[in-house]
Each structure stands twice: as C-alpha cells, then as structure tokens.
Amino acid sequence: MERIKASLSLLLVVTVGWAMATLALWLHLHDRATLDRHWHQQGQSQLQFPLTDANDLIGSRVLDVQSQRFDADGVHLQFGPGPANLPIGFDGRCLDGQRFSQLLLGTDASAPLTLALVHSPTAGGEQRIAELALPPGPQTLRVNLAALAWHSADPEAGSERNWSEGGGVCEFRLVPVADRQIELRLANLRFVLAEGEPASAAWADAGSLQILWRRPESVLIERDQRRKHADLELWPEQPPPGEGIEAPLDRRWPGYLGVALASLALLLGASRGSLRWQIWLTLAGPLVLLATNGLGESTLPMAWSALAISAISLAIAFARVDLPPNAHRWLGSARAWGDVGVGVALTLLVAWLIHLGSQQALRSPPQTGDLLRYLVWAALQQTLLQRLLFPALNGSGRGLLHALPAAAAFALMHTPNFSLMLLCLVAGLWWSTHYRRHHSWAPLVAAHTALGALLTTLLPANWLYSAEVGARFLIAP
C-alpha cells in the first residue's frame, strides 16, 4: 500500500508540473503570435530592435566606441574618428529580404557622417555593404534597401550585389563612420514592407503548433526550426483569420493573485499558524507568476511586490523551523562525500551515454564566472531545501513519501522547464534522503554545482532545452 501511495503521489507531482509548463508555453506562444500579427498588420517584420537595451546586440555591446549608454530613447554613442560597429542580434533567424525591403531607423547625430549597412544572406556567409549619408540632427530614416548599391566586402569579388539576392538576410550590422569625434543616438530599427504593398503580405505565413500531450522541449525545438528562416506566425491553436487583432496587453491578474497568496502566508507566519501551510502559500505566489509568464523581461510592479512579500514570509518561516541540536554538519564526513561522489558519477555516465546516442555536438561548458555564480546559487538552493523545505514539509511516511513534499516544492519552482523539473524532482529526493542520513551540506552543494554545470553541456536539447526558468526558458537561446 505504501508503494502504491508513493507512486500515485509521484505521478500527481509530475502531472501538475507538466500542466504548469504547458500553460506557460501556451500563453507565451499565444502572446508572441498575437504580437507578431500586430506588427504584421503594421506592415513590419517580427524582427524589432528598439535599441533601448544591450540585448538587441550580439555580445550585448557596441564595438569600437568611447562610450555607450542605453535608455528609453535608444543607444547613445560617442566615437570617432573612424567606425563604430553595432551587430544586430537576429538570434539565428533570417529576414525575408524580398518582402521587407525598407528600413526604418531613428537617428540623432551631432555632425554629418556615413552610415554603412552590412548584411549576409547566410550565417557566416558573404558580407555585403551599402553606404548612405547621415545628416546631423534628429530624424527618422526610411531607406529603400533594394535601391541601394550593394557590393561584396571581399575586394577580390568586386561585383555588385542585390539586397534580396539569395532570398534571406541572416546577419545585419550598422557601421556608422565619422571623420571626427561625434555623438550619435540610434533607436527603433525596423524592417517594413515596400511602400504601396498591402499589409496582408506581411502576415501571409501563419501556422500552428500542437502542444497538448507533448513535452514543452519538443514544442520549442519545432518552433525554433520552423521560425529560423521565416517571418512566421506560430499559434498554439488554429491561426485566426483576417485582421483586427490587438497587441497583447500586460497580464496583471497573476501579480494580484501572487500578492494575495504571499500576504496570506505572511499573516500565517505572523500569527504563528501552520508552518507547512505558510510555506506552501509562500511558494504559491511565485509559482503562479512562473506558470503565467509573470516573471521575465517585463515583470510588472505587482509581480515584484508578490516576490518581495514572499521573501519576507520565507525569512519568517526560516526563523520558525525548529531543528534539533547538532542536526547540521557543514563539511560532512568522508562517507557523505563518498555517497555523493558515486551518485554524481553514475548520473554523468548516464548523461554521457545519452549524448553519444544523440550524435549531437557537446554544448559549450559554462565559463569560470558563470560557474562561481552557480556555486553560490547552488549553496542557497541547498540551504532552502535542507534547512527549510525538508524539515517543514516532510511527510509522515518513510522513504520516498517522507522526502516527496520537499522535493516536489523544489522541482515546481523550476516551472516551466519541464525536463529540469523532472531532474530536480529526482535530485531533490536523492539529496533530501542523503541529508536525512548524513546531515551534510557541503557535499550536496558540490554535487548540485557539478551536475548543474555538466548536465547542460552533455544532454542534447531534446532532453534539456536549457537550464533557464520562467519566461527566459521560453525564449529561443
């Protein structure tokens, strides 16, 4: 009976995790497709670059400038004499140059200069260049890219090129060139239809993605493949016909619900109510935000308020946990390290066999700075799991049932990354069982760091799309 109960409980956790991940994916795809349709109704490409932050650029910076600053008005540069270099982040996607042959760009220069446009029809392919004069003062340029005189950057090639020759535009750079030191502001880079062409031509390509009964990772990989070389709307249902679709509004109700749940948790903590209910309500607020894409690049103030109240409630819960004396050993015994080492080695062996079977290249390992940051993050997560969730949420049963509530809470906090949730569920059960036996913290931090760094390198994308959580997981890497 105990095994049946444990199996059903485990199935329930996995089902809830999949449902939350699927909800977040559906909302993200629907919002993205609605926004794409909105831009298409304006006759504009999905590739939009407001240049208000460094994320619009490859490498997140402008090259060859004395200073750069991003704000709501665009990017402000000081450079010269000579060129600056702004590599635009197409993120592996290609623009349909035949449809979107006009460029819109806001500029404000302190002196006249030359603006070179550089593009390539394929990633890493031939570089093509065209130049135009940029007068001083604020203005919005509208450039007919098809009418410019394009030529190859290779002096030996020497022949003229067309803007849309080859069909696609997969790389694009702005290269302003000044003969003196100047100040320049650039903003709102957009690719639009040729004048006179009907806006419906911009959204002629629309399709749907089947998401029910599929792993979110499989859906995201299909999305990336289908959108890589097309200005394509992808809906999580049948594409709506016709025009008249408004741009998606900011979703505010998750923030209000998160604040309500976090406030209830805070009241329970202040009144010394049930510690278990306080913790579940504390975690429920962030979980609502994760499952509805309320945490991401455009987090609303109410969502930040929910997180702040949840953090205060979490601190109160930490203070309420009554641990027995000598129940925690920071460094751990040799046996504790040995048990962890065997588990890590077996896990990495399985991951290596999966990598060999996938016949895919290894992904880039984390840099030293990323590894150090993840070490700190792993230490915080293990403190949360072993010093709060496990002692406060552990079940009344033995074995799996005893550790499952804490492991489930730990896994669900990685919504909507379903594969990562499954890995964290298994790891949470293992780590909590290990901690119950050895009460050792440092071996678990070391195991957490090693697995977090190496599994993202070894496992192919259809097993682990990325290690991101929240809205960042749903954005193409």
SS3 readout for 50-116: CCCCHHHEHHHCCECCCEEEEECCEEEEEECCEECEEEECCCCCCEECCCCCEEEEEEEECCCEEEE
**pLDDT above 80 for 273:** yes
Asked whether residue 396 carries a pLDDT value surpassing 60, the answer given is no
Give the pLDDT of residue 124: 77
Q: How many Cβ atoms from other residues are within 10 Å of residue 160's Cβ?
A: 11
Mean pLDDT on 242-250? 67
The whole-number pLDDT of residue 359 equals 83
pLDDT of residue 106: 95
- List residues bridging with 186 in a β-sheet: 75, 107
Whether 414 has a pLDDT exceeding 80, the answer reads yes
Peptide bond before residue 135 is cis, with ω within 30 degrees of 0: no
Per-residue model confidence (pLDDT) at position 330: 78
Q: Distance between CA atoms of 376 and 357, rounded to whole angstroms?
A: 33
The proportion of the chain whose per-residue pLDDT surpasses 90, expressed as a percent, equals 46
- Model pTM score: 0.85
194 exposure class (CB count in 10 Å sphere: 0-12, 13-18, 19+): middle
For the chain, the distance separating the N- and C-terminal CA atoms, rounded to the nearest angstrom, is 45
Task: Name the token pair of 323.
Answer: 């641990």
User: Is the predicted pLDDT of residue 321 greater than 70, yes or no?
Assistant: yes
Average pLDDT of 199-226?
84
Give pLDDT, residue 166.
64
CA nearest 220: which of 10, 25, 425? 25
Q: Is the pLDDT of residue 241 over 90?
A: no
Does the pLDDT at position 213 exceed 70? yes
At residue 247 the predicted structure's pLDDT band, cuts being 50, 70 and 90, is: low
Would you state the pLDDT for residue 438? Answer: 85
Q: What's the mean per-residue pLDDT of the chain?
A: 87
182: Cβ contacts below 8 Å, ≥ 6 apart: 78, 79, 80, 109, 110, 111, 113
Residue 366 is predicted with a pLDDT of 81
Check pLDDT > 80 for residue 3: no
For the chain, give the percent of residues with pLDDT over 70.
Answer: 92
CB atoms near residue 53 (< 10 Å): 13
Token pair listed for 380: 């915080």
Q: What is the pLDDT of residues 76-129, one digit of tens each?
A: 999 989 999 999 988 778 888 888 889 999 999 999 999 999 988 887 788 889
Q: How confident is the model at residue 440 (pLDDT cuts 50, 70, 90)?
A: confident
pLDDT at residue 257, as a whole number: 92
Domain ranges of the chain: 47-192, 251-474
pLDDT at site 110: 94
User: Predicted confidence band at 403 (pLDDT cuts at 50, 70, 90)?
Assistant: confident
Of 38, 470, 175, 443, nearest in space to 293 by CA: 470
Output the pLDDT for position 443. Answer: 93
The predicted-structure confidence for 217-228, as pLDDT tens digits, reads as follows 999 999 988 887
**Right CATH for 47-192 from 2.60.120.260, 2.160.20.10, 3.40.50.300, 1.10.260.40:** 2.60.120.260
Question: pLDDT tens, 11-61?
Answer: 999 999 999 999 999 999 998 888 888 888 888 888 889 999 898 999 889
Helices (H), 359-399: 368-384, 390-393
